[in-house]
Amino acid sequence: MSAVFTVINPATALPIREIPRASVDDTDAAISRAVVAQRSWAALPPVARADALRSFARVVEAHVEELAQLEVLNSGHPIGSARWEASHVAQVLNFYAGAPERLSGQQIPVAGGLDVTFHEPYGVVGIIVPWNFPMTIASWGFAPALAAGNAVVLKPAELTPLTALRLGELALHAGLPEGLFEVVTGSGSVVGQRFVSHPDVRKVVFTGSTSVGTDVAAGCARELKPVTLELGGKSANIVFADADLEKAAASAPGAVFDNAGQDCCARSRILVERSAYDRFLELLEPAVQSWRVGDPADEGTEMGPLISASHRSSVEGFLDGANVAFRGSAPSGDGFWFAPTVVLADRGDRLAREEVFGPVVAVLPFDDEADAIQLANDTIYGLAGSIWTENLGRAVRVSRGVKSGVLSVNSHSSVRYWTPFGGMKASGLGRELGPDAAEHFTETKNVFFATDAS
């Protein structure tokens, strides 16, 4: 196998750069450096770790434009989105910079002594990242893991390593110790698997497909290693007839076509109450047609290309025999372009159940509230979802009835770094972000101190 791989610009299909393909030995060497760095890092006073993370955040903030341009080049993300993603990394670092001084244990009343708990870091944490949001997903793992006193070995996806490599350099530039935050580029079956099997990697965070995630979890089980999984989704955007239909239709394209649908939270099924179905489609059509697909470097672009030629073929395959209602537009020529597509689906259709991970949305009618909940839950996944209604009681009932980890009512928001994020069912295991994430990178130790004078 070649010692390098070539990174491609998805908007032009042209090569950008060659990147080292790490071997098992290279991976082991990075893990060994991380083991050494972690010991000194965990021994620092909490305020020193907090300061180091704040400094890292400031350096990232100062490089937002450079990181954003790299993501435009490597991932085809529109420049506006890429800037948001780079700023988000700085904000996540800033937020978890507050954690070292807040990881308080407990004091538990006992007879004959004092009982206290400590949040001990795991040691080295392995973070495996997919190609759809290379920077943000990486930061959801590395910021709280570092804050809790761990070292991190990070494996970006083969297709999109550029921003992760740059973040590794910026960490050093900010003064983080050598070895504490190691970025290891290479294949999942080599580097990713080594994170799973190496005895010194004590926790794994995986984001990617449900099938690989299941294998990663099985490997971690053999090592009795905790694992957090963020996997696929087939989230429902449920629109009741009593909703503000104009607003629901105007916002629906962004909820599924953002990042060209390559988003685990994409609302890729729109479920519409039957009495509002025709009107909703009438309103949706112009919203889809005005969705701006084009050069990701252009400030006005809302959607860029798909990530690769093979991924485009996989997305295209979903349209075989599909009942396409209408489509938006996309550039022709080089690059992995795909026009936003709205399909009228039946329950049981592949498009109504499987994750496409592209700009294709399935619209289905439902009869009443119970039917909406049943249909929303008729998938192996349970990551996100939206509920559009002006009826407060219904909003509460439906949000409690839908089995998903992240729901929003009369909006499509999924990610705020200070609120928890993660999926139910085949969408994952564990939660990232929010107030408790740093604690998830620790193990509780209980210590009893005898105080009896004898």
Catalytic residues, by residue number, are: 230
Q: Report the candidate in 332, 173, 170, 361 with the shortest Cα–Cα distance to residue 266.
A: 361
Report the distance separating Cα 116 and Cα 447, nearest Å.
5
Is residue 413 within 8 Å of 387, Cβ to Cβ?
Answer: no
User: Token pair for residue 80?
Assistant: 């506006």
In the bound state with ligand TXE, the residue whose beta carbon lies nearer, of 128 and 201, is 128
Cβ closer to ligand TXE: 358 or 365?
358
Instruction: Tell me if 35 sits within 8 A of 28, measured CB to CB.
Output: no
Q: What is the nearest approach in angstroms of ligand TXE to the Cβ of residue 204? A: 8
* Closest to 194 (Cα-Cα) out of 95, 128, 105: 128
Choice between 164 and 249, CB closer to ligand TXE: 164
CB 36: neighbour CB atoms within 10 A? 14
Planar angle of CA 285, 287, 289, nearest 5 degrees? 70
User: Residue 178 pairs with which residues in a beta bridge?
Assistant: none
Contact 248, 452 (CB under 8 A): no
Task: Please give the residue ranges that form the binding site for ligand TXE (CB under 6 A).
Answer: 128-132, 155, 157-158, 187-189, 192-193, 207-209, 212, 215-216, 231-233, 264, 355, 357
> In this structure, what token pair is assigned to residue 107?
């004091």
| Closer of 263 and 369 to ligand TXE (Cβ) | 263
Residue facing ligand TXE at closest CB distance: 188
Look at the chain and count its residues: 454
CB of 206: closest distance to ligand TXE in angstroms? 7
Is 97 or 426 the residue whose CB approaches ligand TXE more closely?
Answer: 426
> At its nearest, how many Å lie between ligand TXE and the CB of residue 305?
15
Which residue do the tokens 């050598």 mark?
178
What's the min distance (Å) between Cβ of 152 and ligand TXE?
A: 15
Q: How far is the CB of 389 from ligand TXE (least distance, A)?
A: 27
